Structure formats: C-alpha cells, structure tokens
Amino acid sequence: MTIRVEQGKGGKDRYTILSATLLDALRAYWREYRPATWLFPSRQGRPLDPSALQHAYGLAKRHAGLTKPGGIHALRHAFATHLLEAGVDLHTIQRLLGHKSISTTSRYWHLTHASLTTQAARLDLLADGPPPAVPE
C-alpha cells in the first residue's frame, strides 16, 4: 500500500503511504479518465505545471472556507504533523518525506493539544512533593 512519487519536492523520487480509501478513489479516477502516461496530465498531455497545482489548491481552500495563509507546501507539513500525532516515529517520517537528515524532519516536531494535555497531567504528580530519595 505505497505509491511512488516521481520528481517530487527537490526533484526526488520516493515512496509514500497509500490508504485503501485513496486507492479506491485513484482507481475510480483511472477508470473514468484512463490517463496514458501521467496520472494527472495537463490538457496538453504533459505533467501538470506546479502553478496549476498551486491554483487548484487555492481554489480548494477558498471552497472549503479556509482562510489561514499557507501554500501547497502546508499539505506536506500537515502530513508530517498528523503522522507525529498518530505516534509514527521520526525515522519513518524522514523516509516518507525523503529527507536526508533527521534534523530536517525534526522541524515538523511541535507540541500538539494531546501532548500538552499529557504534560499538564504529569505536573499533577508534583503535588505530593519530590520522589523519595533512593538509598545508595
């Protein structure tokens, strides 16, 4: 259940995860349009131009009523963030995003509402004072 992304960000090829729901949608799209070379070709049969994708993203945002600023790269950021929130380890996310360095992937690490709640609950442990000293 993976999909190969060719010439993605940074001109890199990589594999990423493919959900069963997305696979069903892609199959339905393929049955309808039967693209020959490119899965999502331009009207001229070439790969879509990045500006066309950015335009479609902007239209989708407006249609959804989203006003938060951010370009199409925000989808990549959201993907990484959701994986982290779901408990996926940084090394796996690094591979899915095609990063050479784990430090690049760690940029996506930020506090979530769930982790803040967990941290706040840990503060309650301090109410009883420090833990007992361990005898040497």
- pLDDT exceeds cutoff 90 at 27: yes
Distance of CA 54 to the CA centre of its chain: 17
Angle value at C-alpha 12, between 74 and 34, nearest 5 degrees: 80
Q: pTM here?
A: 0.66
Six-digit token pair at 117?
């709640």
- Supply the pLDDT for residue 14: 84
- Which of 66-70, 81-85, 96-100, 107-111 has the weakest average pLDDT? 107-111
- 12 or 121, which is more confident? 12
**H-helix segments, the chain:** 20-33, 50-64, 73-85, 90-97, 102-105, 113-123
Q: Are strands 14-17 and 2-5 parallel, antiparallel or unpaired?
A: antiparallel
